[in-house]
Chain A
Amino acid sequence: MKCIIEGGNLSLRAASASRSAFASFLFAPLFFQRYEPGPPGARCKVLMKSFLGVFRSLPALDKSVERCLLLLRLRAGQLVLQLHCKHGVTRTHHLAFQECEQLQAVFDTQCCASRLRGPAQVLAEAVVHFPQTLAEVTLGAGAGGRIGLRSHLEEGSEPGKAMVTELWLAPDEFQEVAVVPGSRITFCLKEFRGLLSFAEASSLPLTIHYDEPGRPAIFTLDDPLMEAHLVLATLLDPESDSQPPPATNGISYPPAPSDDFTDGLESYMAALESSACEGEAGAPPSPTFSPRTPCPAESDRMEEEDGAVPGTPPHKKVRDGH
């Protein structure tokens, strides 16, 4: 997995190999002590493993590091991370970055029919009841505004073989429950757990925007200085109509491509090929700070610009490093 760092506002983005999950963290300049924006469109792609390696063992870093400097050296093709520690010790990491493309998921939270907002702790405490080996979970709205989570059993798995776990949360555990009664979506638990552990540690409220099965679910965390988005593919509900749901998000679906990329968020992901960091200066950054909604027209424009192979809404289980 790659991590993409982009100038302007500093943003970190990543997508899973199967493109079933996309995450973006956008930091306001005020998040930093000092922030000098790079040239427009400046970005780089570094290996997640080496990037994370620098920040391994956070408790130790918390004690020793006084300042951290991130420097994007476009000419040298390096991302420099400097940790200024106590006693005048400075640790410098030079991460070579790779040829880069813009990574952007096209989504619009305003077009989602259901919205659920609550403390991350509530959902974090809910997902611990599900086994670590479980791939997907179904979130649904029940009677009286109750929110349910239930194990999703793989297609073809014999009923009566696997343990099924179910949990209901009362609406008053959330700050806002504006969900379509009876609606439900199924998504990967692993990525959701990842976001929850971050959200719980920073005690930020989590908002889940979702629509019909097969449409992406968008999980957002809001903080004045930081905005996080996780976009997850959802499974098409085999029990409901097998037709793809109508496009309610301002995107029209081209016919299914002939290749194998039929799962994941292909149709929502516009991977704009742009050689290194030249050109494409005006590529629309999204998600934006405010106003929050990329208008449908903009979404369409990005789709055209993208030229990447669009896919169909996911209808299959996504195998993504589980």
Chain B
Amino acid sequence: MRFRAKIVDLACLNHFSRVINTIAKLAKTCTLRLTVNKLYFILSDRVANGGVSMWCELCQGNFFDEFQMEGVAADNNEIYLELMPDNLSRALKTAQSAKAVKIKLTNKYSPCLKVAVELPSLSRSSRIVTHDIPVKVIPRRLWSDFKEPSVPDFEVSIYLPLLKTMKSIVERMKNLSNCIVIEANLSGEMNLKIETDVVSVTTHFKDLGNPPWASEDECQSSARGRDLQSMAEARIDIKKLQQLLAGQQVNPTKALCNIISKRIVHFILLHEDVSLQYFIPALA
């Protein structure tokens, strides 16, 4: 099992740090899956996480100048590691002016991801900062716990308004209630609602547009033949939504959500080579 990678380009490095920062905001520990072409950050659906799960996928070729990996076996050419993304985020935070960042899987005393940052200095030689981030290697028999989630059979899929706008609204609503109702229909309308004993607040969005994929995809049967005006709704923990909106640093070019009534809200943020999926279960 081997892994080493190198980033030289500053723009790539900053982009990579932003992705890691986003993940660090969403998950205390997560699984890093390495394959020949891709990196995945996975938070699997566990009750301890409040049932929230995350799937973030990056193409290594768009970030790394060098990327060598050798999996557990030739027929299972992958590596699964458990780590605290905050450690990685902290290691990259002070690497913003780095000449190069190398990441390597080591096992000196215990398994670690060694992040070596080469920084410019006042002397001839550059400064090298290394961070040993403890990781746990996940054995092959547990890999099946980290399967890619299939796109759920949603009733409504809709593009989200500007995340900044949504964030400021949700942050205000958070002061009033612990849960929020997201509802949307196939005519590009979405409402964010809170209801308490003393106050009801609703923010209406319109002309958001519905992604076309619902009609292309065979399995999205629930959305087909649906009344365009009828709302699908789910009540979710407002903190989880706020965490996603406040923590995301990928500045997605496309953001959308899929609603399965009373079950789950599935968020997808897309930015060129990065895709982040986030699942928030509905409250009873």
Contact = CB atoms under 8 A, between A and B. Distances in A.
B116 to A, nearest CB: 10
Interface string A171-197: 011000000000000000000000000
A78 B124 CA distance: 54
Interface stretch (A22-30, A157-165, A234-242): A157-165
Contacts of A170: 121, 123-125, 127
A129 interface: yes
A167 interface: yes
A128 interface: yes
B122 A131 contact: no
A170 to B, nearest CB: 5
Contacts of A47: none
A160 B109 contact: yes
Contact of A122 (B90, B91, B112, B122): B122
| B: interface residue count bin | 20 to 34
B104 to A, nearest CB: 14
B123 A163 contact: no
B121 A166 contact: no
Interface in A102-154: 119, 122, 126, 128-129, 131
Contacts of B122: 119, 122, 173
B206 to A, nearest CB: 45
Contacts of A204: none
B222 interface: no
Given A128-B94, A129-B94, A164 B124 contact: no
A168 interface: yes
Contacts of A164: 131-132
A96 interface: no
A81 interface: no
A212 to B, nearest CB: 26
Contacts of B133: 163
Given A122-B122, A172-B123, A166 B91 contact: no
Tell me which of A129, A160, A169, A173 has the highest count of chain B C-beta atoms within 10 A of its own C-beta: A129
B130 interface: yes
B72 interface: no
B71 interface: no
Contacts of A169: 121, 127
Given A128-B94, A131-B90, A160-B110, A165 B121 contact: no
Contact of B127 (A159, A165, A168): A168
B13 to A, nearest CB: 15
Contacts of A159: 109-110
Interface in B83-131: 87, 90-91, 94, 109-112, 117, 121-125, 127-131
A60 to B, nearest CB: 30
Contacts of B109: 159-160
Contacts of B124: 170, 172
A130 to B, nearest CB: 9
A190 B2 CA distance: 38
A165 B115 CA distance: 9
Nearest to A161: B134
Contacts of A168: 127-128
Contact of A163 (B117, B125, B128, B134): B134
Interface centre among A128, A159, A165, A173 (most CB of B within 10 A): A165
Nearest to A150: B130
B123 A173 contact: yes
Given A122-B122, A170-B125, A172-B123, A163 B91 contact: yes
Interface in B117-173: 117, 121-125, 127-134
A69 B173 CA distance: 51
Contacts of B129: 129, 165-167
Contacts of A173: 121-123, 127
Nearest to A172: B123
A169 B129 CA distance: 9
Nearest to B95: A129
B184 to A, nearest CB: 41
B131 A165 contact: yes
Contacts of A128: 94
A126 B122 CA distance: 12
Interface of B: 87, 90-91, 94, 109-112, 117, 121-125, 127-134
Interface of A: 119, 122, 126, 128-129, 131, 159-170, 172-173
8 contacts: A122-B122, A159-B109, A159-B110, A161-B134, A163-B132, A168-B127, A172-B123, A172-B124
Q: Which 4 A-B pairs have the closest CB atoms?
A: A160-B110, A172-B123, A164-B132, A163-B87
